[in-house]
Structure 1
């Protein structure tokens, strides 16, 4: 399998907006409008789909959401699809998507995180189409901190493009902005210093020594992907054999479940083979709670420490702002030393 990169976006191209999982409540429509205008300001035309309602936990019945997403991903006039955000039960789309049609179509960028992992990661694994795990549409108006990129920067990059992102050294520890009262907020409140932490072999941030590892990138949200473990939708080993015999860089992040749940979920994913070809594991920074006897870092080590590969935690690839976009399928190189942390991705 060859990784398929959608062609880079140019001004005048169309970007589709639909909600494969949760829609947008009326009281948050203002933020959606601000986000759409931000994309339009880059010179793109925005097309809003039929499945956007925020009246329930999903935007529409599963067949309608699957049809809307498939239509956008296979429409040659739409070059990227960016949902407003994730949700809870996008898993109901998987048996309804027309995978043969998606595989045959010219690839289109799909961007998002959280519950969108449920669709994006299988899309890369099953069709070879690169997808972007990163800030979603509602996050797009925020100014990007130094060292990081927006998904808009990535989807407009040419084939073969190589880019490096570095942690800004600060993150947000105080929750999220209230889009109801401040729909036009554009500045992240990064109120806490933080850096990447090497979990295996030490505990002081780099106790296991320097890390340098390579491989194609694949991963997503733990709470979502764990439900696909052992199914054809999450066969990372088959993807590695077909597209990355040199191995993978696997990334995971906890959205909100406590440390016991994350520990169980990661054990299940490991038993199902998701980490079998990992050359290193990146773990997103999380605000999810620990327990009296187990931290979130401890949960990762309990489940994955025996794999014998470097494990880097507190990477900006999760639910805690800011966001470091990762391209599923891109060739990655991660470096972590006492004074340097970076992830380089190549669209080849």
Structure 2
């Protein structure tokens, strides 16, 4: 399947905000308002949908969430869709999305991570439209650390122009910032040092392929279904597969990765990137060991502690982009090209 890149976003374009999984509680609405205002100040028209309720774990019934998302993705006036964040059970919208209508429509940017992996990764695999993993709307007010790129820079970049990201060497120990007490936070607290780690051995890594991946806890539930079938994706090019753990312990992550491998998700991987995680180790198995146990049999480079997960800062990856990852003793970078 050929990969289709939505056209670059321009001032005056409309951005749709909807919650395919979890909505926003009232106490966090000030942060949402600031994020929306930031987009408007950049010259975009922002339309907030009806599916935004944050009183439970879902923003609306599944049929309503699916209809609103499909509507935005097939509306030629909406050029990007950005949810406030992920959630828990976004999987329930998948059988209700009109993938045929989305495939026929002009490509629209969709941005998100965490439970949004449940939506954006199938969107790319089933329609060929590139999607952005690595930021959510609520993260947008943050200033981007040196070496990284924001989702807004990616979706506004000229087609075919490569962009390079490098690890900033620092990350946040706490899982979340206090958006209730400080909704206007713009500086990420990066209070620990750390960079990428090769898990499968020593030596330099230099691998290329189409990027695809997402959150292990959500994607594992799609393994073996048409929603996570990489067999026909990107015309049989090699893949750079990225995965990241949110919160499950090492035993669960190990089982999930084994299942995804057995279902063929990693069959065409030229390398695997693994996000840094706060998820706990298990008594006899660390998170790194869990990855190596499940994915070591692939025989490809495995690079861990990449900034592509739930630990800030965030390194956005474009599902469907051509990627090249380099990791040596003196250099770590990923280059993406939106062709």
TM-score by length of 1: 0.97
Deviation at 1:39, TM superposition (A): 1.1
Q: Quote the Cα distance in structure 1 between the aligned partners of 2:226 and 2:106.
A: 23
Task: Answer whether contact 1:124 1:131 (CA < 8 A) is retained.
Answer: yes
| 1:134 shift after superposition | 1.3
- In the alignment, what sits opposite 2:76? 76
Runs of 4+ in 1 over 6 A off after TM superposition: none
Give the match for residue 247 of structure 2.
Answer: 256
Question: 1:139-179: CA deviations, max 9, x gaps?
Answer: 00000000001100001111112100000000001221111
Give the Cα–Cα distance (whole angstroms) in 2 for the partners of residues 215 and 148 of structure 1.
Answer: 20
* Helix, strand or coil at the partner of 2:96: coil
Could you tell me which residue of structure 2 aligns to residue 141 of structure 1?
141
Give me the whole-angstrom Cα distance separating, in 2, the residues matched to 1:156 and 1:173: 31
Matched length? 339
The answer to whether the 8 Å contact 1:216/1:244 transfers is no
Q: How does 1:323-342 map to 2 (within 5 A)?
A: 323-342=314-333
User: For 1:66 and 1:176, how far apart are their aligned partners in 2?
Assistant: 28
Q: Which SS does the other structure have where 2:231 is aligned?
A: helix
- In structure 2, C-alpha distance between the alignment counterparts of 1:180 and 1:211, rounded to whole Å: 42
Correspondence for 2:50? 50
- Cα distance in structure 2, aligned partners of 1:315 and 1:166: 10
* 1:165-184 map, 5 Å: 165-184=165-184
Q: Is 2:2–2:235's contact at 8 Å kept on the other side of the alignment?
A: no
Q: CA deviation at 1:257?
A: 0.4
Q: Distance in 1 between matches of 2:235 and 2:299?
A: 20
Question: Secondary structure of 1:312's partner?
Answer: strand
* d(CA) in 2 for partners of 1:323, 1:231: 29
Aligned-partner Cα distance in 1 for 2:283–2:50: 46
Looking at structure 1, the residues matched to 282 and 129 of structure 2 have their Cα atoms a distance apart, in angstroms, of 38
For residues 194-273 of structure 1, the aligned pairs below 5 Å read 194-201=194-201, 208-239=202-233, 243-273=234-264
Pairwise CA distance, 1:252: 0.2
Identify the residue that residue 205 of structure 1 maps to in structure 2: none
Aligned to 1:297: 288
CA contact (8 A) 1:215 1:244 kept: no
Q: Can you give the 5+ residue segments of structure 1 that lack an aligned partner in the other structure? A: 202-207
RMSD of aligned Cα (Å): 0.7
Q: Distance in 1 between matches of 2:165 and 2:281?
A: 29
- Say whether residues 1:283 and 2:274 are aligned partners: yes
Structure 1 residue 255: Cα displacement: 0.6
Cα displacement (A) at 1:245 = 2.6
- SS of alignment partner, residue 261 of structure 1: helix
How many Å apart are 1:244 and its aligned residue? 4.2
| Residue of structure 2 in register with 1:204 after alignment | none
8 Å CA contact 1:165–1:343 kept in 2: the answer is: yes
- Distance of 2:14 and 2:134 partners within structure 1: 19
Q: Which runs of 5+ in 2 are unaligned?
A: none
Residue 113 (1) aligns with residue 113 (2):
yes
Distance (Å, rounded) in 2 between the aligned partners of 1:213 and 1:13: 36
SS in 2 for 1:95: helix
1:224 deviates by 0.3
CA contact (8 A) 2:25 2:55 kept: yes
Q: Which moved more, 1:35-44 or 1:277-286?
A: 35-44
